[in-house]
Amino acid sequence: MNMPAVGNAPDYSALPLSDLDISDPRMFQFDYWHGLFARLRAEAPVHFQPSSPAGPFWSVTRYEDIVAIERNTEVFSSEPSISVLDPEPDMILKMFIAMDPPEHDDQRRAVHHVVAPRNLKEFEGLIRERTAAVLDQLPENEPFDWVTLVSRDLTTKMLATLFDYPWEERNNLTDWSDMFTNDERITAGEGVPRDVIIEHITACLQRFTELWHERKGDGKEAFDLIRMLQADPNTANMVDDPLTYMGNIMLLIVGGNDTTRNSMSGGVVFLNQFPDQMAKVRANPELIPSMVSEIIRFQTPLPHMRRTATQNVSFGGQQIAKGDKVVLWYVSGNYDETAIERPNDFWIERPNVRGHLSFGAGIHRCMGNRLAEMQLRILWEEALKRFRTIELAGEPVRTCNLFIRGFTRLPVRVTRF
Amino acid sequence: MTVVTFVQHDGSERMVDGDVGLSLMETALKHDVPGIDADCGGGAICGTCHCFVEVSGNIPAPDSQETAMLGLRPDRAENSRLACQIVISEGMADIKIRLPEFQM
């Protein structure tokens, strides 16, 4: 395997297809992934990599192929894992995103209400208030880290609200989420070993088990995710099955965290890279909802999901064997020129702007998609009202992670009206 | 000519002439009928054109993909369908669908 020097992209156009490494998260850290996926889409849209830190896996990179696999849940299962990494044999967390029907459907329905648009209307005022407060506290005309002061802070507060989690402890949620996705095998060794991850998961389970028992039967009708699980007959005793309880809590924490956080940061970068689009949205704030969908496509905060073949199958001219990992590269599908017009343009008035793959497709399509869109919409409505300029004040630092595409640090400077 | 009636969650109704070959989702978008999002554009892979069929003639039953997507809806009913999967055919009877409070 040809390993690139840090920050130097391999020459993806010259390497033999068999030497392409699709497991190196530095392609996201240093943002040189475009060439790799363009080559795969053109020459090897269903590609096998025989060895990697996460083992052998297939890569599917064309939009249409990704959708076809998403639809075929019988042959391409979400069990046992939806990341290129396999679950740990001694701690297989069970979460509905990594289950097939019918068990998946029951567990998902139990918590779907919390992010249903009816509830979102009730959340909207609260989110706007908090967003306004965060933006009002930002320093003016001096560089600050947008990731820490805006993206991370806002998503943590939203998570704490959804769980009705003790407010003063809320940073735990984000720390646990970061830990859960920080396995050293998908972070070019920059992450942590699995025993450290397991320690944190155990602490998280303990806290959430306490909260479950405190709330069980206290008669309150609050609409937090824990009480929703308690109220649904399918999940009322979930706490008795700690791996399932923890799996679903972790899923909801991670699902509401990196994704929205990194799209909140990405928007700033894209509007700076495409100043004509910034001018457009400033002239016409009604474009904000459409811009939000375009930000989510352009960022693709979860670059892949993985399926596992349940039988030998021929797909795209390749023979996929039972048990093989099949990685769906949403980040590639979202830039596939055969499905997305002018994919490299950040284009806020794009036709069919919601037709991206960042939320996935089919039965596992992101449950919180409307909440995420609302958080981002409110952020930009409030930011554009307040700030005359929102400029990058240095190079963004991107996250080194194969499962998370985002920003670790984003120096920004704002001026107010 | 097939007449398509859309009933909003608030009870208001809108009747439009259906074009053969268009799905009910496409018919709603063509006539600016609100209440259908259709994020995925008609592939039965997003579930944001959920509707309840109130009156219909013979329409084909949902396939397995549509059934799988409907299975995720907390507000699923016996007559739940995805509007993108019902395509108006020659001589099809008039049809009336009710739209849910929200799509998700």
Q: In what order do the strands lie in the sheet with B80-82?
A: B13-18, B2-7, B95-98, B50-55, B80-82
Q: Is residue B104 domain-resident? A: no
**Cβ pair B30, B68 in contact under 8 A:** no
Checking if the pLDDT of A2 tops 50, the result is no
Q: Is residue B103 domain-resident? A: no
| End-to-end Cα distance, chain A | 53
Checking if the pLDDT of B4 tops 70, the result is yes
Among A267, A261, A382, A403, CA closest to A328: A403
Q: Give the total number of structural domains in chain B.
A: 1
Q: Which helix (H) or strand (E) holds A230?
A: helix A225-231
Checking if the pLDDT of A314 tops 90, the result is yes
The band of A91, judged by pLDDT with boundaries at 50, 70 and 90, is low
Average pLDDT over residues A343-370: 95
B101 inside 8 A of chain A by CB: yes
- Written as one string, the DSSP assignment of A51-106 is --TT--EEEE-SHHHHHHHHH-TTTEE--S-SSSSPPBTTB----GGG--TTHHHH
The band of A180, judged by pLDDT with boundaries at 50, 70 and 90, is confident
**Domain ranges for chain A:** 17-416
Q: Which domain CATH number covers B26?
A: 3.10.20.30
Q: Do A354 and B69 touch (CB under 8 A)?
A: no
Q: Do B72 and A354 touch (CB under 8 A)?
A: no
B-chain CB neighbours of A118 within 8 Å are 101-102
A-chain CB neighbours of B73 within 8 Å are 109
- CB atoms under 10 Å from CB of B100, counted, come to 19
Tell me the two tokens of residue A301. Answer: 């905060």
B3 inside 8 A of chain A by CB: no
ipTM computed for the complex: 0.89
Give Cα A191 distance to the centre of its chain.
18
Residue with tokens 């567990």: A107
pLDDT for A6 = 56
Question: Which residue of chain B comes nearest to A368, CA vs CA?
Answer: B104
Q: Which of residues 25-84 of B touch A (CB under 8 A)?
A: 37, 39-41, 43-47, 65, 68-69, 71-74
Tell me the two tokens of residue A273. Answer: 């890279």
Domain that holds residue B88: 2-98
CA B48 – CA B35 distance, rounded (Å): 9
Is the bond leading into A80 cis (omega within 30 degrees of zero)? yes
pLDDT digits (tens, 9 = 90+) for B39-87: 999 999 999 999 999 998 889 999 999 999 998 888 899 999 999 999 9
CATH topology of domain A17-416: Cytochrome p450 (1.10.630)
Alpha carbon distances (Å) from B30 to A362, B16, B17, B24, B35: 25, 10, 11, 10, 13
Checking if the pLDDT of B25 tops 70, the result is yes
SS3 A409: strand
B-chain CB neighbours of A354 within 8 Å are 37, 39-40
Q: Is residue B17 domain-resident? A: yes
Is the bond leading into B62 cis (omega within 30 degrees of zero)? no
Q: Do B71 and A101 touch (CB under 8 A)?
A: yes
pLDDT for A121 = 81
From A113's Cα to the closest Cα of chain B, the distance in A is 7
B21 inside 8 A of chain A by CB: no
A189 inside 8 A of chain B by CB: no
From A286's Cα to the closest Cα of chain B, the distance in A is 17
